[in-house]
């Protein structure tokens, strides 16, 4: 034949034809085998957690209080989470395996037995760790905020304690710091710039003036002047969250109330059904908010602004559920901390004492733990596989126990960043497969 079909055309036809020749799927068998395998994985993980001695550390622990839930939403669509773990089975600890067990791969020996210090993060998940200078060339401390992409960290510098004076894009490969904008603090500002979020080519944050006016700011990530895009009078507690959503910026007041303002500047408008509510992770809002008096389950009630769906997290008699995200809750029953689905299902023990934030990306948890009798540290746990790693954060012995700084995840639930000496450790948990 002499026809010269277009390659794209042939390709389309070929793929369609080939698809028609695909092997069949024994659906019933497939579903039940997947179900069985899923349960086996879960049981193994539960056995691991149940078998581990979890010791709560006394002493001062500074913890991040940020909700790590936005990531759950975003990750499902934009981060490479889907490649993450389907192929990785949880580590098997010899201590809790059945007597006749298959040989355990040495690479999987970092089971969470917390009386033994886990291996350092650099050897457990080297792919997730970057180490960069913690100071600018002129000696200012770099404050990590969030990851703009795989290799770029949004950071700030402070003029004085918590008073941000500039935002930079920190290239983790070349170590170049590119200034994004000066953060001006107008006369009369009482709450300095905070709550940074970046999306859609912009970075946004809030400040508050003495008279109670909250100001929402934005600047282009490519660099440029920061400007106030909207203001709203709130009570003295300020704003609890800012999130860029398409061409608007959503935010909520610590005293309750969800609002949006155009990214390009304009009127601040209250969100329908947002009165008294707090922004969890757009389109989810909820109550009570993250800065409440500690009564009730934070985000125990949530509502989806798009679909109107509401959900109240299950709390059984005799247990405390401290906080929930869109998917998971953390709480404690007696002295045993747990994490589970909002509806109370899939409850599992949470390593390392009481937690105030649900696992990041529904999977990662940071906890201070005691290693043996005389040392403490901070470990990152992969709740899905049971693996854990020591973050290399030094602890100080105090009269009551240990004192250490525990880093918190960013709002995306993707980034853990903390200084160790002159080095800034940057951990991107989405790199953990």
Partner 1 sequence: MDGDARFAEFVAERGEALMRYGYVLAGNPHDAADLVQEALLKVRAAWPRLRSKDNPESYARTTMARLHIAAWRRRRREQLTWEPPDREHRDALPSGDERAMWLALSGLPRKQRAVLVLRYYEQLDDAEIAKVLGVSRGTVRSQASRALDKLRAAVPAEWSAVGEGAR
C-alpha 152 chain-centroid distance: 17
Which candidate, 381, 361, 396, 363, places its Cα nearest to that of 54? 381
* Of the candidate residues 34, 116, 275, 336, the single one contacting partner 1 (CB under 8 A): 34
Q: Say if residues 337 and 353 touch (Cβ distance below 8 Å).
A: yes
Residue 312 touching partner 1 (CB under 8 A): no
Cβ neighbours of residue 236 under 8 Å, at least 6 residues apart?
A: 208, 212
Across the beta sheet with 388-390, what order do the strands follow? 364-371, 375-382, 388-390
* Of the candidate residues 53, 87, 100, 272, the single one contacting partner 1 (CB under 8 A): 87
Of the candidate spans 72-80, 140-148, 247-255, 352-360, the one that interacts with partner 1 by CB under 8 A turns out to be: 72-80
Query: Minimal distance in Å, beta carbon 14 to partner 1?
Result: 4
Query: Minimal distance in Å, beta carbon 309 to partner 1?
Result: 7
Residue 88 touching partner 1 (CB under 8 A): yes
Pairwise CA distance, residues 419 & 406, whole Å: 11
Question: Of the two residues 89 and 213, which places its CB atom closer to partner 1 in the complex?
Answer: 89
Site for partner 1 in 339-378 (CB under 8 A): 341, 343, 345-346, 362
Question: Of the two residues 36 and 50, which places its CB atom closer to partner 1 in the complex?
Answer: 36
Query: Minimal distance in Å, beta carbon 303 to partner 1?
Result: 13
Question: Of the two residues 24 and 334, which places its CB atom closer to partner 1 in the complex?
Answer: 24
Query: Minimal distance in Å, beta carbon 65 to partner 1?
Result: 24
Of the candidate spans 30-38, 54-62, 238-246, 286-294, the one that interacts with partner 1 by CB under 8 A turns out to be: 30-38
Q: Say if residues 228 and 217 touch (Cβ distance below 8 Å).
A: yes
Q: What's the longest Cα–Cα distance across the chain?
A: 89
Query: Minimal distance in Å, beta carbon 158 to partner 1?
Result: 33
Query: Minimal distance in Å, beta carbon 284 to partner 1?
Result: 9
* Of the candidate residues 62, 76, 159, 375, the single one contacting partner 1 (CB under 8 A): 76
Q: Say if residues 115 and 371 touch (Cβ distance below 8 Å).
A: yes
Pairwise CA distance, residues 414 & 428, whole Å: 6
* Of the candidate residues 185, 231, 255, 327, the single one contacting partner 1 (CB under 8 A): 327
Half-sphere exposure for 339 (CA within 13 Å, toward CB)? 27
Question: Of the two residues 102 and 137, which places its CB atom closer to partner 1 in the complex?
Answer: 102
Question: Of the two residues 30 and 65, which places its CB atom closer to partner 1 in the complex?
Answer: 30
Total residues interacting with partner 1, rule: CB under 8 A? 59
Q: Say if residues 357 and 68 touch (Cβ distance below 8 Å).
A: yes
Residue 37 touching partner 1 (CB under 8 A): yes
* Of the candidate residues 115, 235, 236, 309, the single one contacting partner 1 (CB under 8 A): 309
Residue 100 touching partner 1 (CB under 8 A): no
Q: Say if residues 183 and 166 touch (Cβ distance below 8 Å).
A: yes
Question: Of the two residues 107 and 293, which places its CB atom closer to partner 1 in the complex?
Answer: 107
Of the candidate spans 34-42, 159-167, 258-266, 367-375, the one that interacts with partner 1 by CB under 8 A turns out to be: 34-42
* Of the candidate residues 50, 78, 159, 336, the single one contacting partner 1 (CB under 8 A): 78
Question: Of the two residues 202 and 342, which places its CB atom closer to partner 1 in the complex?
Answer: 342
Query: Minimal distance in Å, beta carbon 26 to partner 1?
Result: 6
Pairwise CA distance, residues 298 & 313, whole Å: 10
Residue 293 touching partner 1 (CB under 8 A): no
* Of the candidate residues 60, 80, 126, 264, the single one contacting partner 1 (CB under 8 A): 80
Of the candidate spans 46-54, 70-78, 165-173, 203-211, the one that interacts with partner 1 by CB under 8 A turns out to be: 70-78
Site for partner 1 in 9-28 (CB under 8 A): 10-28
C-alpha 411 chain-centroid distance: 6
Six token digits for residue 51: 């078998």
Which residues would be at the binding site for partner 1 (CB under 8 A)? Answer: 1-2, 4-5, 7-8, 10-35, 37-38, 41, 72-73, 76-80, 82-83, 85-89, 309, 326-327, 341, 343, 345-346, 362, 384, 433
């Amino acid at each position: 034949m002499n026809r010269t079909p277009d390659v794209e055309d042939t390709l389309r036809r070929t793929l369609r034809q080939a698809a028609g020749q695909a092997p069949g799927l024994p659906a019933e068998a497939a579903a039940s085998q997947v179900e069985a395998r899923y349960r086996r994985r879960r049981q193994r993980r539960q056995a691991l957690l149940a078998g581990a001695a979890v010791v709560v550390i006394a002493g001062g622990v500074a913890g991040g209080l940020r909700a790590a839930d936005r990531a759950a939403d975003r990750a499902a669509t934009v981060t490479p989470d889907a490649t993450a773990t389907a192929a990785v089975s949880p580590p098997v600890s010899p201590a809790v395996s059945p007597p006749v067990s298959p040989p355990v791969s040495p690479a999987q020996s970092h089971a969470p037995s917390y009386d033994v210090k886990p291996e350092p993060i650099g050897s457990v998940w080297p792919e997730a760790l970057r180490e960069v200078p913690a100071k600018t060339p002129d000696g200012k401390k770099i404050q990590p905020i969030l990851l703009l992409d795989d290799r770029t960290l949004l950071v700030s510098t402070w003029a004085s304690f918590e008073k941000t004076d500039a935002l930079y894009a920190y290239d983790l490969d070349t170590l170049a710091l590119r200034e994004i904008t000066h953060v001006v603090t107008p006369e009369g500002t009482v709450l300095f710039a905070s709550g940074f979020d970046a999306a859609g080519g912009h970075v946004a944050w809030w400040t508050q003036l003495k008279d109670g006016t909250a100001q929402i700011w934005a600047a282009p990530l490519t660099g440029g002047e920061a400007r106030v895009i909207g203001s709203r009078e709130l009570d003295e507690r300020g704003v609890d969250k800012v999130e860029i959503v398409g061409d608007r910026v959503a935010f909520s007041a610590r005293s309750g109330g969800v609002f949006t303002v155009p990214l390009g500047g304009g009127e601040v408008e209250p969100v329908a059904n947002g009165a008294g509510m707090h922004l969890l992770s757009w389109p989810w809002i909820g109550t009570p908010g993250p800065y409440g008096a500690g009564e009730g389950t934070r985000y125990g009630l949530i509502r989806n602004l798009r679909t109107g769906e509401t959900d109240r997290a299950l709390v059984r008699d005799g247990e405390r559920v401290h906080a929930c995200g869109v998917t998971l809750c953390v709480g404690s029953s007696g002295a045993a901390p747990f994490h589970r689905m909002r509806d109370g299902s899939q409850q599992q023990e949470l390593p390392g004492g009481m937690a105030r934030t649900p696992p990041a990306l529904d999977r990662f948890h940071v906890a201070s733990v005691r290693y043996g009798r005389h040392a403490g540290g901070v470990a990152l746990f992969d709740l899905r596989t049971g693996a854990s790693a020591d973050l290399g954060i030094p602890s100080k012995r105090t009269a009551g126990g240990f004192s250490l700084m525990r880093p918190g995840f960013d709002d995306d639930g993707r980034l853990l960043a903390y200084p160790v000496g002159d080095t800034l450790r940057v951990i991107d948990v989405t790199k953990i497969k």
